[in-house]
Chain A
Amino acid sequence: EAQVTQNPRYLITVTGKKLTVTCSQNMNHEYMSWYRQDPGLGLRQIYYSMNVEVTDKGDVPEGYKVSRKEKRNFPLILESPSPNQTSLYFCASGATNTEAFFGQGTRLTVV
């Protein structure tokens, strides 16, 4: 089954404690991306990757890191989370100019 898998689905953490949200896709897509969704602001792109070892900043990259060492995985790293990073996060993957497939989302709360 074609899918994008994010983990964890829910996470509550404390300010400053490093965390990683994993994202894995099984469709051999070159493109992967991370978004955060906040009420009234829609989906905002954090980082995206066009291929292995190629990553670029989206609209809101501050406070986040990513890596793309393999085609299937695109983890999102928060080195020192802060309360303003409390949000709903989505990972997506896609082939060129076709639909994107989304993970089920990760609801992160930073206290």
Chain B
Amino acid sequence: RKEVEQDPGPFNVPEGATVAFNCTYSNSASQSFFWYRQDCRKEPKLLMSVYSSGNEDGRFTAQLNRASQYISLLIRDSKLSDSATYLCVVTYNNNDMRFGAGTRLTVKP
């Protein structure tokens, strides 16, 4: 079983749609959680950190459920520019980072 699992998609949604991604992790000692965005053939970049209380950044909302060991990302009012691959990242042992395989999102006009 992979340490971090994501639905690979692809998710194809129209502009303005709301889309949600889930991610599960297997190591209960995990310490920090992030969502990264990766555009085609480019390096991953931090989208947002994920906190137990949940956090929001504009159209993006991230949630963490430690008891069930899953993380979610909600994107509201999707834009064409949101098209990318979204990577779930879990860290443990002081910064050892493990990535999910990524969920590909395509937002269409």
Interface residue range, chain A: 20 to 34
The distance from the CB of B104 to the nearest CB of chain A, in whole angstroms, is: 10
**Cβ contact within 8 Å between A99 and B42:** no
**Cβ contact within 8 Å between A97 and B8:** no
Report the nearest A residue to B3, measured CB to CB.
A59
- The CA of A100 and the CA of B34, in the complex, are separated in Å by 10
**Any chain A CB within 8 A of the CB of B74?**
no
Majority secondary structure, A binding face: strand
- The CA of A105 and the CA of B40, in the complex, are separated in Å by 12
Count B-side interface residues using an 8 Å CB cutoff: 23
Tally of A-B Cβ pairs under 8 angstroms: 59
**Chain A contacts with B in 20-46, Cβ cutoff 8 A:** 30-31, 33, 35, 40-45
The distance from the CB of A52 to the nearest CB of chain B, in whole angstroms, is: 15
The contact string, 1 if C-beta is below 8 Å from chain A, for chain B 21-39, is 0000000000110100000
**Cβ contact within 8 Å between A105 and B46:** no
**Cβ contact within 8 Å between A99 and B49:** yes
Partner-B contacts on A (CB < 8 A)? 30-31, 33, 35, 40-45, 48, 50, 88, 90, 92, 94-100, 102-105, 107
Partner-A contacts on B (CB < 8 A)? 8, 31-32, 34, 41-46, 49, 87, 89, 91, 94-102
